[in-house]
Amino acid sequence: MCKLRKKNIDITKLRKTLGYYPTGVSIVTAPGVNGQPIGMTINSLISISLEPPLIGWCVDRRAASFADFSQCQNFSISILSEDQSELARLFATRGADKFAGLCAGRFDAGETQAGVLIPGACAWIRCSVYRFVPLGDHLMLVGEITHFQHADEVPLVFSKGIFRNLAGENKVAA
């Protein structure tokens, strides 16, 4: 067992340990402060409450899009399906042109305002921000669900640092 002493944390080992908890993989999007779409890959999505319907996720303060997410009023979640690991990787890449391949990078005003939805995903959830909760080096965004929909797709999984399908097989895009 690795005992935690303040200021003496083996971050690599902690990350590896937490990686044993398998999660789904989502892309969260929102309108940026200048109206441009922003988005990133996350696995911190949690369901919180049914009445009212609340979900949450955490954004790293060091993310390029942190300033935009920390001021957004709405965000949208697309829960990725098993063949979308390439998109997951793209949206986890700082500085990448993340939206160019989606609808040729053109979105109508409504879509831009509420956050872009990713085609081919398993499920989509739109939220209005219910609360911002500062938590260490992350900020939790709690959202009240305004719209939701699911499709008949199999979800992508992230565990032990690898994208997988539900059977645990590697789904890393070639």
Ligand X SMILES: Cc1cc2nc3c(=O)[nH]c(=O)nc-3n(C[C@H](O)[C@H](O)[C@H](O)COP(=O)(O)O)c2cc1C
Q: Is residue 13 involved in binding ligand X (CB under 6 A)?
A: no
Q: Is residue 29 involved in binding ligand X (CB under 6 A)?
A: no
Q: Is residue 60 involved in binding ligand X (CB under 6 A)?
A: yes
User: Which one of residues 19, 24, 32, 44 is an interface residue with ligand X (CB under 6 A)?
Assistant: 44
Least spacing, CB of residue 100 vs ligand X, in Å: 14
Which one of 79-87, 90-98, 117-125, 129-137 is the stretch in contact with ligand X (CB under 6 A)?
A: 90-98
User: Which one of residues 92, 123, 129, 140 is an interface residue with ligand X (CB under 6 A)?
Assistant: 92
Q: Is residue 40 involved in binding ligand X (CB under 6 A)?
A: yes
Structure tokens at 12: 């690599």
Q: Is residue 131 involved in binding ligand X (CB under 6 A)?
A: no
Q: Is residue 158 involved in binding ligand X (CB under 6 A)?
A: yes
For every residue of the chain, which 3-state class applies, written as one string?
CCCCCCCCCCHHHHHHHHCCCCEECEEEEEECCCCCEEEEEECCCEEEECCCCEEEEEEECCCCCHHHHCCCCEEEEEECECCCHHHHHHCCCCCCCCCCCCHHHCCCHHHHHHCCCCCCCCEEEEEEEEEEEEECCEEEEEEEEEEEEECCCCECEEECCEEECCCCCECCCC
CA atoms within 13 A on the CB side of 121: 24
User: Which one of residues 30, 55, 58, 72 is an interface residue with ligand X (CB under 6 A)?
Assistant: 58
Least spacing, CB of residue 14 vs ligand X, in Å: 15
Q: Is residue 63 involved in binding ligand X (CB under 6 A)?
A: yes
Structure tokens at 59: 């954004």
Least spacing, CB of residue 126 vs ligand X, in Å: 18
Please give the residue ranges that form the binding site for ligand X (CB under 6 A). Answer: 25, 40-44, 57-60, 63-65, 92-94, 158
